[in-house]
Structure 1
Amino acid sequence: MSLKILKDYVVITIGIILVAVAVEYFFAPNNIAAGGVTGIAIVINYYISFLSTGVLVFIMNIILFIIAFIFLGSNFGGKTIYASFGLSIIMAFMEKFMHPVAITNDLIIATLFGTITSAIGMALVFNANGSTGGTDIIAKILNKFIHTDIGKSLLVVDFLVTLAAGATFGVNVGFYALLSVIINGLAIDEFIEGFRTCKAITIVSEKHDGIANFIMEELGRGCTYVKGVGVYSKRDIYIIYTVLGRTEFIKLKNYMKQLDPKAFITVSDVHEVLGEGFTQIIDM
């Protein structure tokens, strides 16, 4: 197993632990069925209390993977299987040995903090090219046979889960579950963008060779020279273009203060970078 794959599985593990914490300490004790398989499990647990939410998630994932194999083929990877069953195992472990109780009984606080915790966990899983399976599988089946967008299919499935929560636990709790679904979808995108954000940098400096060498040798990143002409000076100039992580940019900025404090630098955020040194296109 390569170091990158090992790192991905470590990240996925941290992600599903956060999702499990959100479910066991915020959602389940307050009957907030915030969509997905875990939301379905919370509703079913109300009627079949002798089966814990962790066990119910495990059972439903097995059923969904069988259905996926029949209707979709084996197009779900090892990371998705690991995340799906890992989540249910961690939840079952918490329920048996840690006996989780609600951190707060305030539904607003439970909804907000549970959703944020879950969204961070899900973003970590997605960022490692994984998925927790579950209702994603239902959405893919609807996409295949009804030709609806996967995003819309997920929204429909989650809406039905929150509808069931409202019917089971009351309208107020149902609305909190729906609010969690909406916030969760927005928050996951924001967190993923935050993980992938880099800095696109252009530099105009007479000491361009020293800067380029620092970027390549000290930071281990590539850079490109773009030939230009100064409008005022009419002189040929070299413009350096590079993309760096945030910590790498701080190192470059500190270096520039010493080498050429008069350099002209522009910086902009880029939300996804594909290619050598970053996420490979083949991995997406």
Structure 2
Amino acid sequence: MDDLQRVMRRHQYTAKVSTAFLYSICVSIAMNFFWQPGNIYASGITGFAQLLSTLSGRFFSVSISIPVLLFLLNLPLFVLAWRQISHRFTIFTFIAVVFSSVMMKLIPITQITFDPIICAIFGGVVNGFGTGLALKNGISTGGLDIIGLVIGKKTGKSIGTINISFNAFIIVAAGFVFGWPYAFYSALSIFVNGKVMDMVYTRQQKMQVMIVTDKPRKVIDHIQNRMRRGITIVHDAEGAYQHDEKTILFTVISRYEMHDLQVAMRDSDPKAFVSISDTVKILGHFYEPMI
């Protein structure tokens, strides 16, 4: 059993490191193929690193590279993640940031298109996909992802929404540095980045589930064996067609747990009626698995 656990843990670590490397490729492509050639600012700490790099080149004789600034700006956030999230999470976040800094240096800046709108949209899509994939696999890309996770745990806000709300300064800075049309292009890229991130990272998206079943105990056991979710039971419901006795179960899950719910229902009561509603606002405690 100990050998099996070690093998599984090694497999998980390998998957996380591979995901960190994949993210570093995504952010480097977004930066060097779209954002930099299109004069588009990214979101969060990456955008702030771009701003400092631009200003250092304009007002000082030496321009500090974006990869170096990205790493330096993340150092205090590593401390925050170490204290507020988890040590393992921080280690893999550090690996992701190092990979990103190195890949941004290795991948050359390439002008694919002169259209800033295309640069804004595709930069946001590529980076949002990489960031969401990293978060989905339990690692962070550094920067505002760490702040977003800390605040999200306390407020229940989605990562993408928190990320967007922190970027007004970046948008205004783009307007002053590159001109106000580029501020709108940067805003478009940040918006697309946040939305794609939420599409990929589904752990923060809540869904209300209503189950009508005549096997309530079996359904409850299977759901709670797979997911740590509370369930509200409504007894003595009646089906209007055959007037047979039913039980209604209510619970709230994350979109990330949808597959677990489907498996639980298939194993416990495949004939049950299940209704799922998106976009649920939660007041009160909702269990979030440790990262």
Q: TM-score range by the shorter chain?
A: 0.5 to 0.7
Return the match for 1:33 from 35, 41, 61.
41
CA distance in 2, matches of 1:87, 1:25: 19
Return the match for 1:99 from 108, 111, 136.
108
Deviation at residue 126 of structure 1 after TM alignment: 3.1
Return the match for 1:86 from 75, 83, 96.
96
Three-state SS of the structure 2 residue aligned to 1:283 is coil
2:180 aligned residue: 171
1:108 aligned residue: 117
Deviation at residue 75 of structure 1 after TM alignment: 3.4
**Is 2:133 the partner of 1:120?**
no
2:152 aligned residue: none
Cα distance per residue 1:69-91 (max 9 Å; x no partner): 7xx98435442453255234334
CA distance in 2, matches of 1:136, 1:118: 13
Q: 1:121 to 1:74 in 2, by over 3 A?
A: same
Q: Normalized against structure 2, the TM-score is what? A: 0.61
Q: Contact between 2:44 and 2:144, CA under 8 Å: does it hold in 1?
A: yes
CA distance in 2, matches of 1:197, 1:136: 19
CA distance in 2, matches of 1:172, 1:228: 62
Three-state SS of the structure 2 residue aligned to 1:193 is coil
CA distance in 2, matches of 1:151, 1:113: 17
CA distance in 2, matches of 1:282, 1:203: 27
Deviation at residue 35 of structure 1 after TM alignment: 2.9
Letter of the structure 1 residue corresponding to residue 69 of structure 2? L
Q: 1:23 to 1:45 in 2, by over 3 A?
A: same
Q: Contact between 2:132 and 2:200, CA under 8 Å: does it hold in 1?
A: yes
Q: Contact between 2:161 and 2:194, CA under 8 Å: does it hold in 1?
A: no
Q: 1:187 to 1:161 in 2, by over 3 A?
A: same
Q: Contact between 1:196 and 1:271, CA under 8 Å: does it hold in 2?
A: yes
Letter of the structure 1 residue corresponding to residue 26 of structure 2? L
CA distance in 2, matches of 1:267, 1:13: 39
Letter of the structure 2 residue corresponding to residue 283 of structure 1? M
CA distance in 1, matches of 2:184, 2:26: 23
* RMSD between aligned residues: 4.9
Structure 2: gaps spanning 5 or more residues: 1-5, 150-158, 281-285
Q: How does 1:151-162 map to 2 (within 5 A)?
A: 158-162=167-171
State the percentage of identical aligned residues: 22
CA distance in 2, matches of 1:237, 1:162: 55
Structure 1: gaps spanning 5 or more residues: 141-149, 273-278
Q: Contact between 1:198 and 1:271, CA under 8 Å: does it hold in 2?
A: yes
1:144 aligned residue: none
Deviation at residue 156 of structure 1 after TM alignment: 7.1
Return the match for 1:182 from 178, 182, 191.
191
Q: Contact between 2:136 and 2:202, CA under 8 Å: does it hold in 1?
A: no
Q: Contact between 2:32 and 2:108, CA under 8 Å: does it hold in 1?
A: no
**Is 2:51 the partner of 1:43?**
yes
More divergent stretch after superposition (36-45 vs 107-116)? 36-45
CA distance in 2, matches of 1:75, 1:245: 28
Q: 1:86 to 1:241 in 2, by over 3 A?
A: closer
**Is 2:290 the partner of 1:283?**
yes
2:3 aligned residue: none
Q: Normalized against structure 1, the TM-score is what? A: 0.62
Q: 1:110 to 1:250 in 2, by over 3 A?
A: farther
1:20 aligned residue: 28
Q: Contact between 1:16 and 1:83, CA under 8 Å: does it hold in 2?
A: no
Deviation at residue 108 of structure 1 after TM alignment: 0.7
CA distance in 1, matches of 2:160, 2:264: 40
Three-state SS of the structure 1 residue aligned to 2:193 is helix
Deviation at residue 165 of structure 1 after TM alignment: 2.5
